[in-house]
Amino acid sequence: MNHRGLQRALFRMQHDPSFAARLRAGDAAAAASTGLGPRELAWLRAADPAAIGADREGRRAAQLLRNVASGLALARAVGPRGDGDRGWLAGFPRSDAFHRAVSEGASLPLALADWATERAAGAPSATFRALLALEVALLRARRAVHEPAPPLPESAIRRAPGARLLVVPAGTYAAASTLKEALEAKGDEATPVVPPVDEAARETLLLVAEDGPPPRFGRLRAVRVEPLAPLVAELLRRAARPLAPSARAAFAAQHELDVAEVEAVVDEYVNERVLLRGSAAARRPQQ
């Protein structure tokens, strides 16, 4: 007996009545999506529909969305039209993304992120789209598995695997900060006034995930976010590949900067593990 498959199919039936109806009606695609055999499918079809669908005052559905959408609190508070309407989330348990994630045992928050990103493309609110892009990037950064960084030539620098750049509409960081403070002060149901974003301009945000082993057992990496000045953003963008001291000097000359200023920024970010620097000791063969 496929106990896990049965549990997953029941979970899908509980949160999507249309899927439950298709399964009971013998829909071939719905049945195939469960990965269950004829005997197990017969048990599901014979189950009391009222018992499976029971959800007093919608509490079970609401709890699912609260849990899964906790990482999208800012976008959830704004809503696709910018009016604070949270009803748009109710479509997720009926989506292909939800069913696929449950069937495969994949991450529901990441499935929601994919589903919401598709929906955001046509959302009227620019602030919603910007905040969603930021929160989705944070979701992925917290769950990312970082490959070990290859060795660097001596004195060369490169951006650390856990440091990412995100280009968003200007004002996204300010809007996120304002809304986060309001939600922390007034609770999840608050609908505060959020500063608008400017889609005609861009800002670059630095997302830095803490070092450590891959996240597991529900414990996710902490990620800090900071806005970057344009020239700092450009330097970190170039540092996606190794930058030798000569390349950093050329960057300084190109932007009419003092080399010492550039190296001071490099030192700061090396200390913060945003940048990695090669050393002779790191490349010396072990005896």
Per the CB < 8 A criterion, the answer to whether 62 and 28 are in contact is: no
Cα atoms in the 13 Å half-sphere on the side-chain side of 164:
19
C-alpha–C-alpha distance, residues 112 and 115, integer Å = 5
pLDDT value at position 145?
A: 80
Joined together, the tokens standing for residue 213 give 């082993």
C-alpha–C-alpha distance, residues 42 and 15, integer Å = 20
pTM: 0.88
pLDDT value at position 240?
A: 96
pLDDT value at position 149?
A: 77
C-alpha–C-alpha distance, residues 41 and 69, integer Å = 31
pLDDT value at position 58?
A: 87
pLDDT value at position 216?
A: 62
In the chain, the percentage of residues whose pLDDT exceeds 70 is 93
Q: Cβ neighbours of residue 118 under 8 Å, at least 6 residues apart?
A: none
129-186 pLDDT per residue, tens: 999 999 999 999 998 887 777 899 999 999 999 999 999 999 999 999 999 998 888 7
Q: Tell me the three state secondary structure of residue 158.
A: strand
Q: Mark residue 171 as left, alpha or beta (left: phi above 0; alpha: psi -120 to 50; beta: remaining).
A: left
Q: Report the candidate in 277, 278, 275 with the shortest Cα–Cα distance to residue 163.
A: 275
Cα atoms in the 13 Å half-sphere on the side-chain side of 55:
16
In the chain, the percentage of residues whose pLDDT exceeds 90 is 75
49-91 pLDDT per residue, tens: 999 988 888 899 999 999 999 999 999 999 999 988 888 999 9
Mean pLDDT of 266-276: 96
Domain extent listing, the chain:
3-54, 59-143+152-283
42 or 279, greater pLDDT:
42
C-alpha–C-alpha distance, residues 101 and 11, integer Å = 12
Query: Cα-flanking dihedrals φ and ψ of residue 227, to 5°?
Result: -75, 150
170 or 120, greater pLDDT:
170
Query: Cα-flanking dihedrals φ and ψ of residue 278, to 5°?
Result: -75, 150
243 forms beta bridges with: 157
225-248 pLDDT per residue, tens: 999 999 999 999 999 999 999 999
